[in-house]
Amino acid sequence: MKSIEGVLKFLAEIGLDFYESKVYLSLIEYGKQTVYELSKSTKISRTNVYRIVERLKSLGLIEEKLVFGRKYLVSAGDEKLELLVREQEAKSNLLKTILPEIKALFRTNSNLRNPDYEIINYKGYEGVREVIFNLLSTKDELRCYVSRDILEVLDEDDSKLWLDEFKKRTFLIKEIVTENYLLGIKASRTNRNNNDGSRIETRSLPRSDLEIHFLTYIFNNQIAYVSWKSEIMFATEVFTERFSSLEKQKFDLIWKNCGLV
């Protein structure tokens, strides 16, 4: 990037507004600064600098350091920028995959032109954790397209908590997996089966017939999409009765043609 405009455009692409970019660039240009010094160098009020600093800290772009008992702010390494870029790319790919299905549904059903629907995006561990625990609200059947065990994304305590809560519920889980993932999934599901394997049924299809790019969960009147790779975690929830009803019908048709495991 040869111009400040180009840098600001890049930072906007990864989710920073103009003032957040000013604070971040000031730390890169001038090095460590206190909030007071940042306020002077950026000409942004200290009240707003405090707010911006918290936002940039939550993104991992800046850090606090104590120097002789005084608190300074410094920019984090460029690997944090790379991580944010990869997160944006992964999120974009997921939304591009989901969008055609939603658009097709709108085109084929005129009743959905003014639907009662909501789409919520999550990222990071806490966001994905919330989506995973939302699955426990399933009323009857949790229909899943699975390429990995969802509990792999949770830490040990949260995974145990999810399993404990699952045992208290009565809903059934139906999983469709590709044959390529089958052995690994069966191994990783051992602990869950020990809790209540009778409520989990798995069927498979050859990868040539069904390719699962990310985890998909259909339940109640909503659909959840979950994906993660290393530190990149994100999820999307779509709330709409008509869309979820159609996806349940599609799942049930595929289910009938799957092989028993």
CA angle 124, 10, 26 (to 5 degrees): 90
What CATH architecture does domain 82-260 belong to? 2-Layer Sandwich (3.30)
pTM of the model: 0.57
What CATH architecture does domain 4-76 belong to? Orthogonal Bundle (1.10)
pLDDT reported for residue 209: 67
pLDDT reported for residue 212: 78
101-124 residue pLDDT tens: 655 555 555 444 445 678 888 888
Orientation of helix 78-108 relative to helix 241-256, angle to 10°: 90
The full set of domain ranges for the chain reads 4-76, 82-260
CA angle 173, 181, 132 (to 5 degrees): 40
pLDDT reported for residue 141: 95
Cα–Cα dist 23/3, whole Å: 17
Q: Per-residue pLDDT tens, the chain, 261 aa: give them.
A: 446 666 777 777 777 888 888 898 898 888 889 998 999 999 999 888 999 999 888 888 888 888 777 889 988 877 777 777 777 777 666 666 666 665 555 555 544 444 567 888 888 888 899 999 999 999 999 999 988 888 888 888 999 999 999 999 999 999 998 776 676 555 554 444 445 556 889 898 776 667 777 889 999 999 999 987 766 788 899 888 888 898 999 999 999 888 776
Give 155's Cβ-side CA count (13 Å radius): 4
pLDDT reported for residue 243: 85
